[in-house]
Amino acid sequence: MRTTRKYLLLLLIGLWACNNNHPNNKTNIPISKTKQVLVEVNRDLALKDKEQILAFIQRHKLKISESTSGLFYKIYGEVKGKQLQTGDLVTLDYKISLLDGTECYKSEVGKPKSFIVGHGGVESGLEEGILKMHEGQKAIFIMPPHLAHGLIGDMKKIPPRASIVYQLELINVQH
């Protein structure tokens, strides 16, 4: 947690420097230097996120794949229908938790979640992962912050800069 605060402080300083990059400002820091600092901070945070996710995977002995965006996923179960496409209406049961096991959200019995794939309104990691699935399958998606709720969390149960674990079952697909 202390490291995260340090990085957030560096990020705020970088943003402050960008806002104060004005010709009348005597502490004029070049934008290129500020950008370089922000890129390095972001890279360090992304590496730390990945280390935490890999430790979770190892602890739970998961056989899991990683996409080029950084989504970790395991899809399993019997295929009942075609592969999903953008524009499909999907219905799923789900549970969202943090890497430490804290449960954040889950679908209520008899009230699954529905959304149209590719229309937003859900985590980008969920959009990406669900496109790899077929109706009837189950999945585990582990999303780093940039694919989940980002720097600020969801302002409710998911804290800032949190990686999340999505466990889901794809109940229905309407093409």
The pLDDT value recorded for residue 101 is 96
Per-residue confidence band for 14, with pLDDT thresholds at 50, 70 and 90: low
The pLDDT value recorded for residue 82 is 78
The pLDDT value recorded for residue 9 is 56
Q: Any idea which residue has 């019995």 for tokens?
A: 109
Statement: residue 132 has pLDDT above 60: yes
Per-residue confidence band for 27, with pLDDT thresholds at 50, 70 and 90: low
* Residues contacting 147, CB < 8 A, separation 6+: 69, 70, 71, 123, 124, 125, 128
Distances 75 to 23, 144, 169 between C-alpha atoms, Å: 54, 18, 10
Q: Which amino acid is at 161?
A: R
State the pTM of this model: 0.81
Give tens-digit pLDDT for 77-94: 988 877 889 999 999 999
Statement: residue 108 has pLDDT above 60: yes
What is the average pLDDT score of the chain? 88
The pLDDT value recorded for residue 136 is 92
The pLDDT value recorded for residue 28 is 60
Statement: residue 147 has pLDDT above 60: yes
